[in-house]
A and B are shown apart, each in its own frame.
Chain A
Amino acid sequence: MSITFSQVGFQYARGMPWARTALTGVNLVVARDEMLGIIGPTGSGKSTLLQLMNGVLQPTEGQVLIDGQDPSRLRGREITRLRQKVGLVFQSPEDQLFENRVYDDIAFGPRNLGLGPVELDLRVRWAMELLELDFDTLHHRNPQTLSGGQKRRVAIAGILALQPEYLILDEPAAGLDPQGRRLLLKVIKNLHRMHGMGVVMVSHRLQDIFEICHRVAVLNDGRVICTGTPAEILRRAPELISIGMQMPPINQVLFGLKSMLPGIRLDLTGPEAAAREIDRVLKEQL
């Protein structure tokens, strides 16, 4: 079970004088049981890559297979079923809220699947609980009156209510306050761990990706330039910096310490691991 890209290319406005190539020769496999992070500078094709994963965009070259199915060959209900399987959360998803009540907005997706009222109610409650939205106090509120972080979570709940097998998120935490960000990342991690969803996440903030993803793919100029575990990616830090990416602050600290403490490891993610490493190296030196 996987989403497989083979030699995928994508061009916007194909055949027009203002055509723009967004992706070239992308080979990538997203396994059902992994958490994949996608990083890359602005305009490297990250959002395009995500939109190819549930068939809202079709590749102009190569093939995308979702659990063995080619979305460009599917019609009608089959394509709806495919989109139910791969839940795609767009950038600032709170912009798509349109119903008068939180409940109805979350129920929009499942209703489109044709579910009955009992199943619908279960799904909405389930999605709200997962995103730590209190059903009793929030379900009848107007989404526009909620805080930014709450709106964002309502929008994501709207996707989760489809009970997707893969969850694809484009900059899910961008523009949230620190608490909102932490809560959302925790929720995403849980969705993977407790509910076995395959997660693909794009973020500008490498610390968010390194903290929760098992594997990272780096995109530059429409190509996947490398994939690997966060530690492997961190070992290629100079390359990433040269294409304009910014390392997490804690890794910048480790790079800075390297000249004083030559034995220090640089491929660590998160402040706790870094603190332990600094502690270890300092003790060794003494």
Chain B
Amino acid sequence: MNAINELFSRHVSRGSAPLGSLKGRRLIWVEILLSIAVVVLPGLLTSAYQVRMLENIAIFALLAIGLNLAFGFTGQISLGHAAFYAVGAYGSAILETRFGLPAIIAWPAAVFLGMLLALLISLPVMRLSGHYLAMATLAFGLIIEKLLSQGGAVTGGHDGIIIPVSRVMGQALQDRFVYVIIIVALIAYWLLRNLTESSVGRSLRALRDDPDGAASLGIPVARYRTLAVVVAGGLAALAGVFYAHVAQVITPEVFAVHTSIQILMMVVIGGMGHRLGGVLGAIVVLIIPELLYGLDEYRNIAFGALVLAVLVFLPRGIAGLPEAIGSLYRKLSSRRVHGSDTAAKSMTGANHEA
């Protein structure tokens, strides 16, 4: 509004280029470079195992990016995210094998189903928060998991469904599927990254931190929450579609509570509310077991311990690592110089006790 410009133009003096933009400008080049690198990567890999690994990471990146939007940015925790993952996988599989639909119809339909389910579940539980929301989503995930294993002929029960991939996708697509997944994941990343860096993104974070305060600034809290969850659900369903056609067989165990928790942990470890959080989390969580090869049984324990360590020592996740190191460095160097620094800090801190 020009009114403000006119009002304060004489106050704008000290050229204050906000430093935030500087970081942002550097980071985008990193993101672009990494995007290019990722697209080129499949060509450099030597074994089918590595390709499979990459596909896995891309699939989980889709899951984690979505959950990061819904939880990290908007504050809607979900311990049942694998339910949407399942809807995508089983949805597309069922439409293809039981109804004979071609992929071109089955896949978008499955994604749409995922979004629909997300919408339906978010409506009643949206006003819950904290523990209650977490428990509700946990129960939801457990119910879906149960339905899958008890679905009889439709879902194949415990044996699951086998997807005749060559018939559905054709050989050409099948060979290049890794590129499809990577490119889709990249598109999803950039779309969501733009969203979270925009004013809408800030509004999401505001409504995560203080819904009432955000509402009084005109932010449509309920609508944004629902949209975030629906987008997350859609991305998860898409990931499910990809998974079904990569693994070629789907069983209920793949979509159990543990998967939901795994996705949540990815978001936490990667950095909640940071644009890179989902991707970093997916990469770290899936790569670490590879590095611990040989200590196979201990990998889950290592994983759990890692999450705890991140929570206690690195609350902003790996994405917050540069910042954490920076502040640690500053704290150490200032302590050497000003011994009374901590005293001053604690005084200002006490001032804003509510």
Instruction: Judge: A and B partners, yes or no.
Output: no
Identify the A interface with B (CB < 8 A). Answer: none
